[in-house]
Amino acid sequence: AQRAATDAWRGPGRTADGHLVSILANVQDAASAQQAAGSQAEGVGLFRTELAFLNRETEPSVDEQADLYAEVLRAFAGRKVVVRTLDAGSDKPLAFTGATDEPNPALGVRGLRLAFTDPGILDRQLDAIAQAAERTGEQPWVMAPMVSTVADARFFADRVHARGLVAGVMVEVPAVALLADRVLAHVGFLSIGTNDLTQYTMAADRLSPELAILTDPWQPAHLALVAQVARAGQVAGKPVGVCGEAAADPLLACVLTGLGITSLSAATAALPAVGARLAAVSLDQCRAAAAAALGADDPGHAREAARAAL
Ligand code: PEP
Ligand code: MG
């Protein structure tokens, strides 16, 4: 029955009683954007721009970048597209960013941190995104990865706002989750990157199979941070999405909805199962599942408790 419901699911994302949760796709280039555009995805919640340039020795020109960004915006014309600025470093090294060898790359100069010593690459990328917006008449949202402080968020937002674009930041570092209310004073939205938020909350390498129990997004400590960020968004009246792998888990998607998350972004193939599961439960059930999961002491019990509440 679940399989049939998945096959039959048509957007938009909503609970059985009509509470809307945008179901968005994670994309990485024009081809994946076109594929997502032909699916039930309501938009793009995470465009991982660095993945389009992984094999480049030199920085792509502003024009070349604008061509790519415009293609993605055109594929989703009239729909939401969230472009993430280059998340280079750590597990995604980019030759042209000049990143150096570091003993702990996940804790090193990655993502937005690369722009602090030389903002040139970031500024040129934002110029390219603004150019793509102008060419297409679309209004992409732009967000930064690996933001750690309120000052980081302001640094980024100032540059994005100067180009007339909507700025947001990813919540991947617990420090930013804890101060989400203050970060929200400077940006229009937040997007929780649960792959990195689990890694940094649990001090466990996301690439380590031995530590998978720690990097499980059902870890109650991780869920508590997500809850705090979602609440800050509700108080500020600003959207808070999830764009990590957690959004691809239909049961967890219900919990996230119950916590107040406003959009879920995942690989295109995962979206129908998420949409179908949400369509089968009420917002109150999602809230009960969220409360039950938050109260569990470990990921296994959190899953069981959520399932029982639904
Ligand atoms: C995340 O960290 O959850 C995320 C969406 O970004 P990435 O997986 O690209 O680091
Ligand atoms: Mg990340």
Report pLDDT for 80: 98
ipTM above 0.90, yes or no: yes
| Low-confidence winner among 4-13, 56-65, 153-162, 232-241 (lowest mean pLDDT) | 4-13
Closest CA to 264 of 279, 310, 188, 215: 279
Report pLDDT for 130: 98
Amino acid at 33: A
How remote is the CA of residue 171 from the centroid of ligand 1, in Å?
Answer: 10
* Annotation: binding site: 48, 84, 172, 195-196, 206
Taking a C-beta distance cutoff of 8 angstroms, is the pair 149, 176 a contact?
yes
Of 32, 87, 199, 206, the residue with max ligand 1 atoms within 8 A of its CB, to mutate for a pocket test, comes to 87
Known catalytic membership, residue 243? yes
Q: Which residues line ligand 1 (CB under 6 A)?
A: 46, 48, 87, 172, 193-196, 243-244
Which of 240, 243, 261, 296 is labelled catalytic?
243
Pairing of strands 189-192, 166-171: parallel
How remote is the CA of residue 40 from the centroid of ligand 2, in Å?
Answer: 24
How remote is the CA of residue 242 from the centroid of ligand 1, in Å?
Answer: 10
pLDDT digits (tens, 9 = 90+) for 185-207: 999 999 999 999 999 999 999 99
Report pLDDT for 1: 73
- Which helix (H) or strand (E) element contains residue 236? helix 220-236
Model confidence at 129, pLDDT cuts 50, 70, 90, reads very high
Report pLDDT for 40: 95
Model confidence at 37, pLDDT cuts 50, 70, 90, reads very high
* Annotation: binding site for phosphoenolpyruvate: 48, 84, 195-196, 206
Q: 307: helix, coil or strand?
A: helix
